[in-house]
């Protein structure tokens, strides 16, 4: 069941979120994309180029309750290099 918008009785659902996004779009920074993408062997090719790494939890760092091989070591390497590490996930599994 969608929650209510704190400013009114309109339900906060996917349609509301899309409308709200379009309302504030002019205030958001413009997206920019590189002219070309490139393939890298692993994160070590990127550590020097970025200050922050945002990684997905489920399927990237873990599958179910099991860590992906090398995931813990990569997180430690990023932290040791002084990088900020943010883990996001949309998994609905509990107990992880």
Structural domain spans, the chain: 1-32, 36-96
Q: Report the SS3 class of residue 49.
A: coil
Phi/psi zone of residue 44: left (φ > 0), alpha (ψ -120 to 50 degrees), beta?
alpha
C-alpha span between 51 and 48 (Å, rounded)? 8
pLDDT over 60 at 19, yes or no: yes
What pLDDT is recorded for position 28? 93
Please state, as a whole number, how many other Cβ atoms lie within 10 Å of the Cβ of residue 49. 7
**For the whole prediction, is pTM greater than 0.75?**
no
* Reported confidence tier of residue 11, pLDDT bands at 50, 70, 90: confident
Q: Which tens digit of pLDDT belongs to each residue from 54-92?
A: 988 887 888 888 888 888 898 899 999 999 999 888 765
């Amino acid at each position: 069941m969608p929650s209510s918008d704190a400013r009114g009785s309109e339900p906060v659902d996917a349609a509301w979120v899309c409308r709200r996004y379009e309302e504030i779009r002019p205030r958001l920074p413009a997206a920019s994309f590189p002219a070309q993408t490139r393939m890298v062997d692993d994160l070590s090719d990127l550590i020097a180029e970025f200050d922050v790494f945002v990684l997905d939890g489920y399927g990237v760092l873990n599958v179910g309750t099991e860590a992906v091989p090398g995931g813990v070591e990569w997180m430690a390497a990023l932290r040791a290099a002084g990088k900020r590490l943010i883990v996001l996930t949309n998994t609905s599994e509990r107990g992880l």
